[in-house]
Amino acid sequence: MSGVRVLVGTRKGAFVLTADGKRKQWDVSGPHFPGWEIYHLKGSLADPNRLYASQSSGWFGQVIQRSCDGGKTWETPGGGMTIKPGAMPAGESNKFVYDASPETGKPLTTHQWYDGTQHPWEFKRVWHLEPSLTDPDTVYAGVEDAGLFRTSDGGKTWQELAGLRGHGTGPSWQPGAGGMCLHTILLDPSNARRMYVAISAAGAFRTDDAGKTWRPINRGLRSQYIPNPTAEVGHCVHRIALHRSRPGVLFMQKHWDVMRSDDAGDSWREVSGNLPTDFGFVIDVHAHEPETIYVVPIKSDSEHYVPDGKLRVYRSRTGGTEWEALTQGLPQRDCYVNVLRDAMAVDSLDACGVYFGTSGGQVYLSADAGDSWAPIVRDLPAVLSVEVQTLP
């Protein structure tokens, strides 16, 4: 029987939740890396037992972890103990150094700070890990301060794809309240050379040559909080999602506004429709219905919790604009949690499962595409990310 493996990153460690295809009985493993912030974990489509995790700490910085057995055991790629004194280290898996060379980095060394002055680019952490669709040793990492890195040796070494920061608008990028993070990486399953990324608060960007050159794709976005609301960059994109069968159609949860693009990001239109608030972080697409999308509205940018004390997922079966509240099994009073941008995912079982994690430590599952919900776990540390693997 098929099954699912849910990878949960929290403020204080990682958890792996597993169940068979019925999704009724869950085994909870963890905390892995206890006490560390785990911004994201994700498995390889090419080898489901190959997982990568971003482990970080304000004290000790960034560590990349890798598992080759579905999360039972972990290693720092190339970071094991050196057996022979003086031997060369096997790798530098935790080293993320911006490319500032004249040839590829231009060099680009500063971006805009909160007060409008220029500020050095400083690596802080990895927000998102996106394994290649075809090679388990190749992974993309979205980092803060915003940049895109790639490993092709299973995480032992990382190199920046400097064309993104260096394409021209980089000096005008500015951090959002959560930092200047590259948090979304989408790989086009139909075109290995096309990739989308999103940065807070710069916007969305696309490459059509496997990461060598990039261009902003923010036409149609409108952000009232920046001097020019329709500027080429400066938009606080929170999350982008696509359906594998139709990778040119993108759905975006922006700081405010839910948006849609039908031309690979060349233009966007608003599809917030009847949502109670169009602020939020997550957005995802049903595994089998490319026009069915999910968001979790959050009250506002100054009040990061669900409105009216009610935890409601909203579903649109029309690709946006017309939304219905999904409440069955979710708390409808005295609830004030947040759902962060990487904390929703779907499985691809016949009855699509939808999962999300909250700042209150709950991970909820709907095994019927959102009609009803139940918690898998209730009392984890604050959830930062949720990913799901559908296992054969």
Partner 1 sequence: MIRVVLPPHLRTLAHVRDEVQLDIAGRVTRASVLDALEARYPVLRGTIRDHVTEQRRPFLRFFACERDLTHEPPDAPLPAAVAEGTEPFVVLGAIAGG
- What percent of the residues of the chain are helix, what percent strand, and what percent coil, each to the nearest 5? 0, 40, 60
CB 69, min distance to partner 1, A: 17
| 362 touches partner 1 (CB under 8 A) | no
CB 158, min distance to partner 1, A: 11
Q: Which is nearer to partner 1, 119 or 317 (CB)?
A: 119
**Is residue 128 within 8 Å of 119, Cβ to Cβ?**
no
CA distances from 149 to 86, 99, 162, 349 (A): 29, 10, 8, 32
CB 103, min distance to partner 1, A: 19
Q: Which of residues 42-71 bind partner 1 (CB under 8 A)?
A: 57-63
**Is residue 331 within 8 Å of 311, Cβ to Cβ?**
yes
Distance CA 65, CA 52 (A): 6
User: What is the total count of residues that contact partner 1 (CB under 8 A)?
Assistant: 25
Q: Which is nearer to partner 1, 63 or 139 (CB)?
A: 63
Q: Which is nearer to partner 1, 86 or 227 (CB)?
A: 86
Q: Which is nearer to partner 1, 34 or 229 (CB)?
A: 34
CB 371, min distance to partner 1, A: 40
Q: Which of residues 94-113 bind partner 1 (CB under 8 A)?
A: 94-95, 97
Distance CA 347, CA 344 (A): 10
Q: Which is nearer to partner 1, 91 or 265 (CB)?
A: 91
| 392 touches partner 1 (CB under 8 A) | no
Tracing tokens 């700070």 back to the chain, one arrives at: 113
Which of these ranges, 89-97, 176-184, 262-270, 305-313, lies near partner 1 under the rule CB under 8 A? 89-97
| 157 touches partner 1 (CB under 8 A) | no
Q: What is the DSSP string of 33-82?
A: STTSEEEEEEE-SSSTT-EEEEEEETTTEEEEEEESSTTSS-B-TT-SPP
Position among 15, 36, 52, 268 found at the interface with partner 1 (CB under 8 A) = 36
| 229 touches partner 1 (CB under 8 A) | no
Which of these ranges, 80-88, 102-110, 210-218, 364-372, lies near partner 1 under the rule CB under 8 A? 80-88
Helix, coil or strand: residue 217: coil
Q: Which is nearer to partner 1, 125 or 315 (CB)?
A: 125
Q: Which is nearer to partner 1, 106 or 124 (CB)?
A: 124
Tracing tokens 């949690």 back to the chain, one arrives at: 337
**Is residue 283 within 8 Å of 294, Cβ to Cβ?**
yes
Other beta carbons less than 10 A from residue 74's beta carbon: 17
Position among 45, 68, 90, 133 found at the interface with partner 1 (CB under 8 A) = 90
| 79 touches partner 1 (CB under 8 A) | yes
Task: Specify the long-range contacts of residues 55-60, CB closer than 8 Å, at least 24 apart.
Answer: 55/14, 56/125, 56/126
Q: What is the DSSP string of 261-316?
A: ESSTTSS-EE--TT-S--BEEEEEE-SS-TT-EEEEE-S-SSS-S-GGG---EEEE
| 82 touches partner 1 (CB under 8 A) | yes
Q: Which is nearer to partner 1, 165 or 312 (CB)?
A: 165
Which residues are at the interface with partner 1 (CB under 8 A)? 35-36, 57-63, 76, 78-82, 85-86, 89-95, 97
